[in-house]
Structure 1
Amino acid sequence: MVRNDTMRTLSDMHTVALAAAGHLLHFELGVAYEIFGNPPPDAPSDWYDVMLCGPGPIQVGPFVVEPDHGLDRLATADTVIVPACADVDEPLPSDLVEAVRKAHDAGARIASLCTGAFVLGAAGLLDGRRATTHWSHTDDLSARYPEADVDPDVLYTDNGSVLTAAGKAAAVDLCLHLIHLDHGATLANSVARRLVVQPHRPGGQAQFVATPIKVSDDHRLAGVLAWAQQHLDQPLTVTDLARKASTSPRNLGRQFRAVTGQTPLQWLLTRRVRRAQELLEATNDTLETIAQSTGLGTATTLRRHFKKVVGLPPDTYRRTFHTTPA
């Protein structure tokens, strides 16, 4: 396949095609149609012309939708949006994959929402590019398309001609990002206000999930992982963890990397930050108190590590996700 990293000029980005085939999730498709198909009052005359393209009647959640055009129209679009697939374990429609590939070769900008990234992967558009999808499917996406640089910790990625978004709300973020690119911040913020969402979240921001580590109860690390999470307020070392696991620090390191993909200290830091997220959401504790109760020591240390892992400062995170009255 010939890779095409050149797109039409942004001033011409006015035709948006929603690529639909197979069984789709209705949220992502609805979001794209709402954002691009419903111009704000201050929109220019060349606002987006949105068309739904598919091979025939499409199952969208509990509904059946009739497309406006066939998949061949994707090649004439300026931007092609690939909504989320309902089941990534089902075979991807080959006609959809081929139509998306041809659209990219013709110069279209291709963007996937949530599990729509699997269609881009099958079309070869993620090879050598950074990509993401819903955090629960990133391992599968990486395994199926090993040439892709899959990042499970971001809201969306922008490679110029190929963009991918994580799940649900991140689809809104990516669509607003496209409007920002095409029409500027003022119009993107205008659309965001109509949707009653934040004007803009950077793509590098974390997905705000504590990705579970799948360890069976009888695994040799199960006990030490549980014990460590109950003692995050203490200054744990690799030696402490190895002693609890009745093994050597070197052997413990190998086991941790095999199970979690991280070193013991990296895993501990991630757990401490995730615990800090929970406390920021559910308590009114000061940052100093949270830092001490999570083993991060001081508010300064908490801020530094929290920003690195989550993608934004703890104060901003609390304002966004705090669930108890001040």
Structure 2
Amino acid sequence: MLNNIAVVLLDGVHPFELGVLCEVFGLDRSDEGLPVPDFAVVSAEGPVLRSHAGFTLGDMHGLDRLEQADLIAVPAGDSYVNRDYPPELLAALRRAVDRGARVLSVCSGVFVLGAAGLLDGRRCTVHWLHAAALARAYPRAVVEPDVLYVDEGPVITSAGTAAGIDACLHLVREEYGPEVANAIARRMVVPPHRDGGQAQFIERPLPRNRCDTVGGVLGWMERHLDREMTVEQLAARAHMSPRTFARRFQQETGTTPYRWLLRQRVLLAQELLEATDETVDSVAGRAGFGNAAGLRHHFLRTLGTTPNAYRRTFRGPSHVA
């Protein structure tokens, strides 16, 4: 359980990524019945730091605070891609992992973990702008530039800005359960769960004049996941030819209609398995997989687990049906 959390700051820290960590882990929400971990902000470079936005930060803990932490988080910062880091910080990160703590990076904070040797032989990610630099700097790391976040044992890495929220909520969901993660997400007005394997960015810029292209169709698809649908039917709904619709869909979502639909169906099935006592057959029908066998097939291919095993993980053995 994450009872003790420390966020490590270096000179040039980005306020948004720091704010994400404070928002998810550092606010007292005990009035809502949510857990309140011991949360601290730690400076790795002196009593006063300058943020990327120009204001200064002070009144922080020293590095000794890391020795107690169950989770050490490193937000992004200016010039993190090509700077040196305090050896005492890198040693503290290694000791933390050796004693069983977890470490989390948001965007370019991953370069700190790389400097500590924590990416060697591990899958990891970063904002796509920095992916090539990360692979060059740490050739033993397995860089996955197209995903939102990667949970590789004790090391969790995430891409830029909002992907850090996804990684944090993933950790909350894993450590405290879906109810806590969903409650925090509602307070933040963000999706409660985006799978780490989702695409970081669209392949090409959106058209300058989007008007009503595939947006309306996406909404319809989300509301009717239990229905059979073909590209031809979706294209007709968008008043496009199937070829134009498929191309525009790829541009605006970064994936194909089939893959997008499959991902949404799997996500709905996950939510139903976590939050309801419906049978697996019922969940399969509502999510558009037809029956339990179809749901099991796609769960194994997408998540590497079965619906019952997934439900057992998040709700306990008594809820498996």
TM-score bin, normalised by smaller chain: 0.5 to 0.7
Alignment partner, residue 163 of structure 2? 170
User: 2:36 aligned with 1:43, yes or no?
Assistant: no
Instruction: Report the TM-score, using the length of structure 2 for normalisation.
Output: 0.65
Q: 2:14 aligns with which of 25, 31, 54?
A: 25
Secondary structure of 1:206's counterpart equals coil
CA distance, structure 1, for counterparts of residue 56 and residue 75 of structure 2: 15
Distance 1:158 1:190, change over 3 A: same
User: 2:59 aligned with 1:70, yes or no?
Assistant: no
C-alpha contact (below 8 Å) 1:25/1:86 kept by paired residues: yes
C-alpha contact (below 8 Å) 2:27/2:36 kept by paired residues: no
Distance 1:152 1:309, change over 3 A: farther
CA distance, structure 1, for counterparts of residue 188 and residue 150 of structure 2: 22
Tell which structure's C-alpha radius of gyration is larger: 1
CA apart distance, 1:209: 3.3
Secondary structure of 1:81's counterpart equals strand
What does 1:115-154 align with in structure 2 at a 5 Å threshold? 115-154=108-147
Alignment partner, residue 292 of structure 1? 243
User: 2:76 aligned with 1:84, yes or no?
Assistant: yes
**Bigger RCO of structures 1 and 2 (CA < 8 A, at least 6 apart):** 1
Q: For structure 1, which segment, 94-103 or 168-177, has the greater mean C-alpha deviation from structure 2 after superposition?
A: 94-103
CA apart distance, 1:203: 0.7
Alignment partner, residue 322 of structure 1? none
CA distance, structure 2, for counterparts of residue 121 and residue 202 of structure 1: 24
Instruction: Report the TM-score, using the length of structure 1 for normalisation.
Output: 0.64
C-alpha contact (below 8 Å) 1:306/1:312 kept by paired residues: no
Alignment length (residue pairs): 237
C-alpha contact (below 8 Å) 1:18/1:51 kept by paired residues: yes
Q: For structure 1, which segment, 53-62 or 191-200, has the greater mean C-alpha deviation from structure 2 after superposition?
A: 53-62
Alignment partner, residue 108 of structure 1? 101
CA distance, structure 2, for counterparts of residue 166 and residue 310 of structure 1: 23
CA distance, structure 2, for counterparts of residue 76 and residue 122 of structure 1: 21
CA distance, structure 2, for counterparts of residue 70 and residue 49 of structure 1: 15
Distance 1:280 1:63, change over 3 A: same
Distance 1:307 1:120, change over 3 A: farther
CA distance, structure 1, for counterparts of residue 249 and residue 36 of structure 2: 50
- CA offsets, 1:185-232, max 9 Å, x none? 11111111111111111111111233xxxxxxxxxxxxxxxxxxxxxx
Distance 1:204 1:67, change over 3 A: farther
CA apart distance, 1:149: 0.8
Q: 1:194 aligns with which of 187, 209, 212?
A: 187
Distance 1:297 1:63, change over 3 A: closer
Distance 1:39 1:128, change over 3 A: same
Q: Which amino acid aligns with 2:194?
A: R
Alignment partner, residue 314 of structure 2? none
CA distance, structure 1, for counterparts of residue 110 and residue 255 of structure 2: 32
In the alignment, structure 2 segments of 5+ residues that lack a partner are 218-233, 268-321
C-alpha contact (below 8 Å) 2:126/2:159 kept by paired residues: yes
* CA RMSD across the alignment: 3.2
Distance 1:292 1:49, change over 3 A: same
Q: Which amino acid aligns with 1:293?
A: T
CA apart distance, 1:296: 6.2
Q: Which amino acid aligns with 1:59?
A: R
Secondary structure of 2:150's counterpart equals strand
C-alpha contact (below 8 Å) 1:205/1:311 kept by paired residues: no
CA distance, structure 1, for counterparts of residue 33 and residue 104 of structure 2: 22
CA distance, structure 2, for counterparts of residue 86 and residue 306 of structure 1: 37
Secondary structure of 1:197's counterpart equals coil
Distance 1:39 1:90, change over 3 A: same
CA distance, structure 2, for counterparts of residue 290 and residue 71 of structure 1: 60
Secondary structure of 1:112's counterpart equals strand
CA apart distance, 1:161: 0.6
User: 2:9 aligned with 1:58, yes or no?
Assistant: no
CA distance, structure 2, for counterparts of residue 179 and residue 84 of structure 1: 20
Alignment partner, residue 197 of structure 2? 204
Percent sequence identity is 40
CA distance, structure 1, for counterparts of residue 254 and residue 42 of structure 2: 46
CA apart distance, 1:94: 3.2
